[in-house]
Amino acid sequence: MKISIVMATYNGSKYLQEQLNSFLLQTRLPHELVVSDDASKDDTCKIIEEFSVNAPFDVRLIRNRENSGYSANFNKALLESKGDLVFLSDQDDVWFSDKIEHMLSRVLDNPDTLLFMNDAQFTNEALVPVNITKLGQIRSAGLSDTSFVMGCCICVRRELLNICLPIPDDFGSHDGWLVRFGIGLNTRIIDKKVLQYYRRHSSNTSNVIFNNPQRISYLDLFPYYFKVIFGSNSHEEEKSRILKNKLILSRLDLVLAKRSILDTKRLLEFRESTVKELFFLEKHLKIRTRPFLPRLFQVTCSFVVGDYFSIRGFRVLLQDIVGE
């Protein structure tokens, strides 16, 4: 099985060498490293070029003339990869030496699964571990594993990439797209083993609450949900979810039309669930535009038929009552 590592870089010279060195220490080396650089202005490309001279595997560097953004940059690297199994990597983490070997064993033991994820240990800027992992953070907040969307912890089979690539620019996140397909097709496995350090520093691109290196609880989520429900951008977020579902639906229709080698039953089930969620989102976004009394009547009807016992439940109920 040919193994690729793909990495998206941008002004990453401060921590990049440590991550590259961790690739060299793998007990199972990759066949290639594909790096897409997003017009860095520091020594990032120089570090990669020097690394490629003596690396025991192929190293390919793609230089973007203009900055395309984090997700689009990863998309380019993924499109250039050739491996049967592709690992996604951030530029500032450090992998444990057995990451590839361990995940490869999980892949070989689960031939019908297409997307795999491992846990990661939070560290500070100096790579000193703190007492929390990414999965631990999600679970301490009372959230389900569906919230575990972390590109640097993903390895994915070529069969899924053949469906997912290219990633639509409008979707917003490369890892969210891949994980959504992994979950939707019921083909994701999460390995609880910690296989890398996840460095947090002032230049990190991701600053969502779940990436806080200090342990959080469900109480810490209240300000976040308050902002989601009552904030001025709450309806824009719902419109974004609608757009994402439409993009997924469009890709599924394209794949089904081509008669993918993937299990058609799983594709159709994913399509059905996407259609249901899209209908739900559009229905409730429309409810919020109604005057208060008609809106309250529709909310009551939706409650009676059980609308608020699915998907995001109580949060959607509050948003519907508040309206625009």
**What's the CATH number where 83 sits?**
3.90.550.10
Q: Where residue 67 falls among pLDDT bands split at 50, 70, 90?
A: very high
Q: Where residue 232 falls among pLDDT bands split at 50, 70, 90?
A: low
What is the mean predicted confidence (pLDDT) over 271-286?
A: 91
Last residue within a domain, chosen from 194, 216, 238: 216
The domain of 284 spans 223-322
In contact, 286 and 235? CB cutoff 8 Å: no
Q: Which residues pair with 115 in a beta bridge?
A: 156, 188
Are residues 47 and 191 part of one domain? yes
Are residues 256 and 188 part of one domain? no
Number of domains within the chain: 2
Are residues 266 and 145 part of one domain? no
Q: Where residue 175 falls among pLDDT bands split at 50, 70, 90?
A: very high
Give φ, ψ of 219 to 5 degrees.
Answer: -65, -30
Cis peptide upstream of residue 166 (ω within 30 degrees of 0): yes
Last residue within a domain, chosen from 156, 184, 216: 216
Query: Tens digits of per-residue pLDDT, 203-224?
Result: 655 556 556 666 776 666 666 6
E strand intervals along 158-281:
188-199
Q: Helical H runs in 56-152? A: 70-80, 99-109, 134-140
Are residues 127 and 29 part of one domain? yes
CA separation for the pair 248, 168 (Å, rounded)? 9
Please tell me the number of Cα atoms within 13 Å of 196 on its side-chain side: 36
Are residues 273 and 195 part of one domain? no
Q: Report the pLDDT value the prediction gives residue 171, as an integer from 0 to 100.
A: 96
Are residues 195 and 145 part of one domain? yes
CA separation for the pair 45, 121 (Å, rounded)? 27
Are residues 200 and 65 part of one domain? yes
As a 3-state breakdown, the chain gives helix, strand, coil percent values, each rounded to 5, of 50, 15, 30
Helix (H, G, I), strand (E, B) or coil at 59: strand
For residue 14, the one-letter residue type is K
Q: Where residue 33 falls among pLDDT bands split at 50, 70, 90?
A: very high
Q: Report the pLDDT value the prediction gives residue 155, as an integer from 0 to 100.
A: 99
Q: Where residue 303 falls among pLDDT bands split at 50, 70, 90?
A: confident
Are residues 154 and 104 part of one domain? yes
Last residue within a domain, chosen from 199, 216, 233: 216
Are residues 232 and 176 part of one domain? no
- CA-nearest of 158, 8, 154 to 76 is 8
Report DSSP state, residue 259: T
Are residues 189 and 314 part of one domain? no
Are residues 148 and 54 part of one domain? yes
Examine the pLDDT at 130 and tell me if it is beyond 70.
Answer: yes
Q: Report the pLDDT value the prediction gives residue 207, as an integer from 0 to 100.
A: 52
**Both tokens assigned to 203:** 């230049």
Q: Report the pLDDT value the prediction gives residue 150, as an integer from 0 to 100.
A: 95
pTM: 0.90
Q: Mean pLDDT lowest for which of 112-121, 227-236, 302-311? A: 227-236
Ramachandran area for residue 46 (φ above 0: left; ψ -120 to 50: alpha; else beta):
alpha
What is the mean predicted confidence (pLDDT) over 1-10?
A: 98
**Both tokens assigned to 39:** 């017009």
Q: Report the pLDDT value the prediction gives residue 316, as an integer from 0 to 100.
A: 81
CB-based burial of residue 279 (10 Å sphere; 0-12 exposed, 13-18 middle, 19+ buried)? Answer: exposed
For residue 70, the one-letter residue type is Y
Are residues 158 and 98 part of one domain? yes
Q: Report the pLDDT value the prediction gives residue 80, as an integer from 0 to 100.
A: 98
